[in-house]
């Protein structure tokens, strides 16, 4: 077996960071650091709260046990520890609210089948979750960000985002 470490030029994480729990956030970032080559880029797509604090008790018990929604400040504070350099941060808050609306519509279209398979309690909880989350993204500090950073300085990245639209 090859003794070389597995490493990547680019890593993308979608919807994982908020599920590892507060105590595991440093371990998560350490693993990204281990897997990313110098100059490599990492895109972190995650739910972000306005302030540090406890997760909603209902969500913590029934939907995402062990999860923790970090604040943007908390997340960015990890970067210097690993010589990660922030390139771009984008809020997708309203996009995600609309996504949750669409999920709710599809959920309702299939409610009978879902209820037959998982029961009325599950249907009520999922419907409540989807509608409450959509509202939370619209009216509270709950957000979803895409945060792009590099491991160490990377002076080879394009200076604009024009290449994305070709």
Catalytic amino acids?
133
Give dist(CA 66, CA 156) in Å, integer: 39
> Phi, psi at residue 133, to the nearest 5°?
-65, -45
| Three-class SS of the chain | CCCCCCCEEEEEEECCHHHCCHHHHHHHHHHHHHHEEEEEEEEEEEEEECCCCCCCHHHHHHHCCCCCCCEHHHHHHCHHHHCEEEEEEEECHHHHHHHHHHHHHHHHHCHHHHHHHHCHHHHHHHHHHHHHHHHHHHHCCCEEEEEEEEECCCCCCCCCCHHHHC
Give dist(CA 47, CA 69) in Å, integer: 6
């Amino acid at each position: 077996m090859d003794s070389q470490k597995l490493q990547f030029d680019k890593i993308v994480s979608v919807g994982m960071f908020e599920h590892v729990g507060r105590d595991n956030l440093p371990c998560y970032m350490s693993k990204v650091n281990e897997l990313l080559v110098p100059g490599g880029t990492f895109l972190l797509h995650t739910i972000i709260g306005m302030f540090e604090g406890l997760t909603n008790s209902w969500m913590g018990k029934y939907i995402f046990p062990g999860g923790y929604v970090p604040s943007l400040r908390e997340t960015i504070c990890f970067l210097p520890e690993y010589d990660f350099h922030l390139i771009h941060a984008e809020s997708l808050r309203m996009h995600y609210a609309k996504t949750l609306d669409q999920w709710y519509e599809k959920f309702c279209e299939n409610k009978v089948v879902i209820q037959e398979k998982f029961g009325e309690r599950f249907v009520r909880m999922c419907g409540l979750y989807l509608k409450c989350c959509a509202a939370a993204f619209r009216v509270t500090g709950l957000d979803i960000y895409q945060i792009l950073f590099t491991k160490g300085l990377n002076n080879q990245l394009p200076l604009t985002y024009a290449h994305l639209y070709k």
